[in-house]
Amino acid sequence: KYEKCGARGILVGEYLMKSGDIKTTVKDLLQNVTQHSVLGDLPLLPPLAKVCGITTVEYALAALRNGANMIGIIMTEHSPRYVQVEEAKAIAKAVREYGERTGPILPDILNANLHGQSDWFHRNVVALREACSRAPLVVGVFANKTAAVINAAAEEIGLDLVQLHGDEGFEICQDIKYPTIRTLHLADTTLSDGVTPEAISQLVQEGFANYILLDTTMKDQQGDTGVTFDWKVTASLTRARIPCLMTGGLTPENVVQALSIGHPVGVDVCSGVEVKGSPGVKDLDKVATFLKAVGGYLSVATLKINEEKET
């Protein structure tokens, strides 16, 4: 009703006060908005932003001050952005202190959403948004490690989420004690004709990974390619009730377009905000510009919608 009148948001006050259970009512409102959106138009919600390949506390704090919701630390030894455990612990500690918390917050929120009425991935996304609204989170990126190794590292470092970036499959998620992001590697835009949402949907099963991240693969390289995939795949998956995070070739210059086409839950940037030719060295001006673009996306999208209506 209100959407047809041009409204893009609601102010809720008395309805919550009279609900008797404010916490549950807020969750239901968020879930219903997401469910309604994917049944019709794609959701117009604030995208989350993750800055990955963070190698120093300084870079982490700079990203947080500019609005990053998640900080990614690479824990795969072959990566030029690999961070030693002690530095990873320092980064995680700095992120927790910035968010004024001493421990993880996402697991409790996820548990509270276990029995929601919406689908698995939507319940998890609602929980992620709620957690990120309270404090930024730390993500550890692993590739082809055992669950035992991942659990031990996550506990020692103080991670909030584990991102699987190798060929581990989905079953390993059941043995990982932390919320997981499973990366799906897609061909770049020149080779993506055979990539369909239906094919991807067959790979994804509820109850394993909490979140899906779409990334680009080229030849034998998975991730850190600096190349984009077909962003329309993300939008198709959202319509298929599989909301995703999105990475691969994102930059301050193309992220708004990526958001407009893909409508992901959030975006993940790494090489796109680095000093050219220096993996792991962040260009803080690029970091700020990227995060400003993500933070201002809703205003841009709303303006575009209004312009289209006027024409």
| Residue 61 vs residue 22, higher pLDDT | 61
pLDDT at 119: 86
pLDDT score at 200: 77
- Tokens 């609204």 belong to residue: 133
Phi, psi (5° rounding) for residue 274?
Answer: -110, 160
User: What is the DSSP code (8-state) at residue 82?
Assistant: B
Is the pLDDT confidence value at 262 over 90?
Answer: yes
Cα separations (Å) of 227 from 41, 183, 221? 28, 16, 11
Asked if the structure places residue 58 within a domain, the reply is yes
Residue 9 maps to a domain = no
Q: 137: exposed, middle or buried (C-beta count within 10 Å: 0-12, 13-18, 19+)?
A: buried
Task: Count up the domains in the chain and report the number.
Answer: 1
Angstrom distance (rounded) from CA 248 to CA 225: 7
Any domain includes 141: yes
What letter represents residue 205's amino acid?
Q
Q: Do the domain assignments include residue 33?
A: no
Structural domain of residue 194, as residue ranges? 46-293
Helix, strand, coil % over all residues of the chain, rounded to 5: 45, 15, 40
The predicted-structure confidence for 287-310, as pLDDT tens digits, reads as follows: 999 999 999 998 777 666 555 555
Task: With respect to residue 8, please indicate whether it lies within any of the assigned structural domains.
Answer: no
The answer to whether 80 and 280 have CB atoms below 8 angstroms apart is yes
Q: Model confidence over 40-97: pLDDT tens digits? A: 456 678 999 999 999 999 999 999 999 999 999 999 999 999 999 999 999 999 999 9
Backbone angles phi, psi at 108, to 5 degrees: -65, -40
Task: List strand residue ranges (DSSP E) for 144-193, in order.
Answer: 161-164, 180-187
Model confidence at 39, in pLDDT bands (50, 70, 90)?
A: very low
274 within domain boundaries? yes
Task: Establish if 309 belongs to a structural domain.
Answer: no
| Closest alpha carbon to 232 in 46, 51, 42, 48 | 42
Q: Which residue has the tokens 């490690």?
A: 145
pTM of the model: 0.83
In a domain, 67, yes or no: yes
Answer yes or no: are the C-beta atoms of 107 and 180 closer than 8 Å: no
- Per-residue pLDDT band for 110 (boundaries 50, 70, 90) equals very high
**Which CATH number fits the domain that encloses residue 114?**
3.20.20.70
The whole-number average pLDDT for the span 31-45 is 52
Q: Which residue would you say has higher pLDDT here, 223 or 62? A: 62
Q: What is the largest CA-CA distance in the chain?
A: 58
User: Cα-flanking dihedrals φ and ψ of residue 6, to 5°?
Assistant: 100, 0
Share of the chain above pLDDT 70, in %: 76
pLDDT of residue 186: 86
The alpha carbon of residue 254 and the mean position of all alpha carbons in its chain are separated, in whole angstroms, by 17
